Structure 1
């Protein structure tokens, strides 16, 4: 099969040695139509984010496609079914074999294109804010990078549940997108100090932070008592300051989190819980991935550059193969 290979900071499409693609017990094999592009892929290509131990070297954390084979002990999925998969690796390829626990059927009315941008970002938002952040119906939320794939996903989930959500972004166009999706207010970080503004508007209970560095100490200033900061990335820096006095007095919590290395069972639990809470909203189209741009698989390096340069508003996807019109 054709698959992506990282060579000297770039991706080349090569003929990968295809081992037995027959799924084992509890697994399915998917012919991939589209793959989602994520910042983790940018980091992996740069040599800064290796795959978990035992995972494929092929990048790609999510995909959509059609099931071509089903292993024993899988009863809820079938050959020919359109699905999306949450992966530890392997999405930039023509096919992938994965635990059925990491797979959800594509909601009725969705295209594979949008389903490719679904699970990584929505599962990240759901795990970190709703589960680890223990979001209650009365809590207020703040997120950096509000126009990113994770940010646009979180905005929609918060709107669906009725939680006010404030976001910081890098341009006025991104502010408009976030507010159209349901953000209570979006701040252009180049023009407005979110700490000063939120201190005046009323503080928040949960912060989703992919930046780290000194932004953590600033985030502490906008937290209510018992507030939580969940750090999911290092876009700013690996190290920074923390106000431990404020942490103690205000009973704040700072939580570090990654989705990629979690077990298949844990990922399955996250997807099951997310579907239980928001499945009706996904099926009705009230909550859906925001697809900003589609690239052909052969343009994968341009896709990564587009994400690296912070130009995206929502999700970027790669088209691997045309599967929509085919019969299985």
Structure 2
């Protein structure tokens, strides 16, 4: 099969076809999502977890073409999408069956590739870790990213008020269309002061990391929860523990890619199950829709990576493969 191994050159290469191991399915890939983790891996900063494929790609959609021993619930010919630890930029991929999801009704096969990573990330961090409740105030940084566009819609569908940051009026207008109530242009305004007017954020989903740590804690409400999922602004910063204690607040840092496929409440299987149970009905009802910025053929991976790295994309960038 053709695939793009996760090296700096990102060259389309012939590699052996995957064979399903026990508990795995093979998917003939229709499309793969492009994520910042792919850019980090290409730069040599985010190697795949031990045992995972070194081929780029953390999510795909496609058609089941083979079943490993012990797999139940899936059949050859099923149209699916899947969360991966690697291997998505390829014509075929083997994946644990517990990380495979049905395609929500009303979503086409290619667009479904935009869902696994963002839906599972937002469910695991905003709901399972952040415990966002109806009526609470939720802040997501980077509201027009793939994560941001999905997080705004899910939080709004759950009955929360939604605040977001973005870098210009056009992007903020797109965020408002998705359900954001409080819009902050971070190049002009201070999100901390804006959130303080609202009484502080109950849950903050942060992709920036060190650069925003102190300001995020300042923006939290009493009993607020800050969940950090990215380090675009660095990995080390000082934490004012006194301020955190005074607010009875918490700071969590999580990743999705290295988690085990199964084996407990923090496993990918648990996240996938919760996502299908809680997010898929909201997609099928129209409360959440996939937001696709652009699609590129697999051979144009450089252009797809450049589009994501530019910061101009609104929603997901996809590679079409099948």
- TM-score scaled to structure 2, two decimals? 0.96
* Matching of residue 72 in structure 1 with residue 73 in structure 2: no
**Which sits farther off after the overlay, 177-186 or 281-290?**
281-290
Within 5 A, what are the aligned runs for 1:175-324? 175-265=172-262, 266-321=267-322
- Answer yes or no: is 1:104 the counterpart of 2:95: no
Cα shift readout 1:165-189 (whole Å, capped 9, x = no counterpart): 1000112111011110011122111
Across the aligned residues of Structure 1 and Structure 2, the Cα RMSD in angstroms comes to 1.2
Partner SS state of residue 85, structure 1? strand
Find 2:156's aligned residue among 156, 159, 162: 159
Indicate the residue corresponding to 1:144 in structure 2: 141
Distance in 2 (CA, whole Å) between partners of 1:124 and 1:6 is 22
- Map of 2:30 onto structure 1: 33
TM-score (norm 1): 0.94
Is the 1:67–1:80 contact (alpha carbons within 8 Å) kept by the matching residues of 2?
Answer: yes
Give the Å deviation of 1:105: 1.0
Q: CA–CA distance in 2 between the matches of 1:288 and 1:104?
A: 16
Q: For residues 276-307 of structure 1, what are the alpha-carbon distances to aligned partners after superposition, in whole Å with 9 as ceiling and x for unaligned?
A: 12332122232122001111111111111111
Tell me the secondary structure at the aligned position of residue 73 of structure 1. Answer: coil
Does the CA contact (< 8 Å) of 1:142 and 1:206 recur in 2? yes
Unaligned runs of 5+ in 2: none
> Is contact 1:118-1:288 (8 Å) kept?
no
Deviation at 1:61, TM superposition (A): 0.2
Q: In structure 1, how many angstroms separate the alpha carbons of the residues matched to 2:153 and 2:204?
A: 16
Q: What is the distance in 2 between the residues matched to 1:37 and 1:98?
A: 18
1:183 and 1:270 mapped to 2: Cα distance?
A: 25
Determine if contact 2:133/2:159 at 8 Å carries over to the other structure. no
Mapped partners of 2:275, 2:5: distance in 1 = 32
Deviations 1:168-221 (A, max 9, x none): 011211101111001112211112211111111221111111101131100111
